[in-house]
Amino acid sequence: MKRLLGVLAVCLILGFAGHAFAGTAAGDNTVIGSVAWTNLGVEDEDVNIWDVSGQIAVGRFVTDQLQLEVAASGLWMGVNTPGGDSDQYLFGIMLRPNFHFGTQSATVPYIGAAVGGYFWNFEGEEDTVFSYGAQIGLKQFIKENAFLQIEGSWQRFELEEPTEATIDAFRVWLGFGLKF
């Protein structure tokens, strides 16, 4: 993980030096693959939840700054409680409008919101869950049509079945994307 962050930092430094010129414009399409690991916040302090996440996002810039993106995510969660451990699986689709700043440079920061739903499997019991959140990130172009992405996101899940709970997920995503 430290090595990956080091490579990302070097790419950011090269981008600030003007090594790779790129940017975003209306009509651009993107596809991004990302991974994340996180510890999730829950209401019960005796419960520890962590996950490994993967995400594929497909987007289109409707203006030079506004990108509409659809993200499909899969999560595997390990739940550790005083009563025992269990695994949970989630698959979700989120609609994510993102607003980009400084779109004519190699380094493009953005901020956005997310809304969608998840299919949740908890110890064999299944449920569909509404979810919403926000994200802030940075696209660092390494070539005119290729970029690295780092994103911090918050996402809330409101569960009713099989157990009533609110889960706040704070993640750092690392990804690679293509613009076409």
74 vs 40 pLDDT, higher one: 74
> So where are the chain's domains?
2-179
Find how far residue 71's CA is from the centre of its chain: 8
164 vs 63 pLDDT, higher one: 63
Largest CA distance in the chain: 55
pLDDT reading at 106 higher than 80: yes
Residue closest to 102 by CA, chosen among 115, 93, 111, 91: 111
According to the model, what pLDDT value does residue 17 have? 41
Query: Does the pTM of the predicted model rise above 0.95?
Result: no
pLDDT digits (tens, 9 = 90+) for 118-172: 887 776 778 888 999 999 999 999 999 999 999 999 999 877 765 667 778 888 9
Q: Give the rounded percent of residues in the chain with a pLDDT score beyond 90.
A: 47
Residue closest to 176 by CA, chosen among 2, 7, 3, 42: 7
Task: Write the class of the CATH domain 2-179.
Answer: mainly beta
pLDDT reading at 58 higher than 80: yes
